[in-house]
Amino acid sequence: MKLATKYIHAGTEPDPSTGAIMTPIYQTSTYVQEAPGVNKGFEYARSQNPTRKALEDAYAQIENGKFGLAFSSGVAATDAVIKLLSPGDEVIAANDMYGGTYRMFTKIFAKYNIIFTYINTSDTDTVRKAVSAKTKLIWIETPTNPLMNITDIAAVSAIAKKAGALLCVDNTFASPYLQNPLDLGADIVMHSATKYLGGHSDVIQGCLVMNDATLREQLYFIQKSCGAVPGPMDCFLVLRGIKTLHIRMQRHCENGEKVAQFLRAHPKVGKVYWCGFEDHPGYQVAKQQMRGFGGMMSFTLKDDSIETAKRVLSSTKIFALAESLGGVESLINHPASMTHASIPREERLKNGLTDSLIRLSVGIEDVDDLTADLAAAIG
């Protein structure tokens, strides 16, 4: 089945009682049973809900996986993965990652004696050397947030399998339209479905997708026991969003390329971080494992001062200054004070995330308006 057809029909069947083409919103907390232990597959909405099940089936289908699980947010999905571990286990993680993930790892789970080692996962040899007998999980983003670094998923998967560790890929920036980590050997794919999967900045949700049945049961037990599940309305919204993922991502990619080229040619712009440039260090890997380069990018100004960056951030009219990404509207963001503020400054600077870095989530508006907006803000 081609991608466009898959996204439109993933997880959904006409309602058997009414013929409704969209999955109904099953707004219920519990289900009547015929007898104790005899039910129609649903007992209590924390453990399962028909709208959520349709979405979880859709998640699995669009990521070429067997099992999907929906969570109340992306960090809730991440939390479930780390709860697979035991004290003394080690996680190898990218040194360039979403600040909320870093915050969870360092402020929540480190105190339970989970060991976190942060490295440049773009360098396969560095990953190989970092693995130890204690390594139970390798956590990567590709492209990374916000510096757009690329990790070779297949190569890291081989390292993880040799070590007997799990590989989890945060695929939020790419979306299933551009990249399918399970096909490249990953054990778990995580999405903040708030972003491209929902696509309209109107829902908070996360998901996990996997192929292994035992792993699915372990994660489902955590999901059910800890209760970080989404409501049926949120599931309905993401089901709706997935139906247009392919056409939105096509436009994100088209606009992203034009905005990236515009920025690189601008005399007042310093460095542009976008993995679609042929001189990007990860370009060849990205070209091999992705279907396109997306609409996420970051850039600096030649006047590399925080004051100038703040002026640009506050001057756009179409690009909205806001957290998040992946919606139909374009967003501009200051990682150092917003999405990555929880990472200590010295750590950010060591990894190349400067105080003046600006991140863009390029939306699907007319690209001429977007470049004109940036031109006026940059001056």
* Residue 148 banded pLDDT, cuts 50, 70, 90: very high
Instruction: State the greatest distance between any 2 C-alpha atoms of the chain, in Å, as a whole number.
Output: 73
User: Could you tell me if 264 and 301 are in contact, meaning their C-beta atoms sit under 8 angstroms apart?
Assistant: no
Q: What is the mean pLDDT of the chain?
A: 96
* Residue 336 banded pLDDT, cuts 50, 70, 90: confident
Catalytic residue among 6, 46, 224, 243: 46
Domains, the chain? 3-242 (3.40.640.10), 245-378 (3.90.1150.10)
Tens digits of residue pLDDT in 173-193: 999 999 999 999 999 999 999
E strand or H helix that includes residue 3: helix 3-9
Contacts of 171 by beta carbon, 8 Å cutoff, 6+ apart: 63, 179, 181, 189, 190, 191
Q: Which amino acid is at 326?
A: G
Catalytic residue among 53, 83, 136, 195: 195
Residue 350 annotated as catalytic:
no
Tens digits of residue pLDDT in 207-252: 999 999 999 999 999 999 999 999 999 999 999 999 999 999 999 9
**pLDDT value at position 13?**
87
User: Could you tell me if 4 and 246 are in contact, meaning their C-beta atoms sit under 8 angstroms apart?
Assistant: yes
Residue 170 annotated as catalytic:
yes
Residue 98 annotated as catalytic:
yes
Catalytic residue among 79, 89, 170, 187: 170
Residue 110's closest CA among 122, 101, 98? 101
Q: Is 98 helix (H, G, I), strand (E, B) or coil?
A: coil
Q: Is 168 helix (H, G, I), strand (E, B) or coil?
A: strand
CA geometry: angle at 122 spanning 296 and 355, to 5°? 55
Catalytic residue among 7, 52, 96, 98: 98
pTM of the model: 0.96
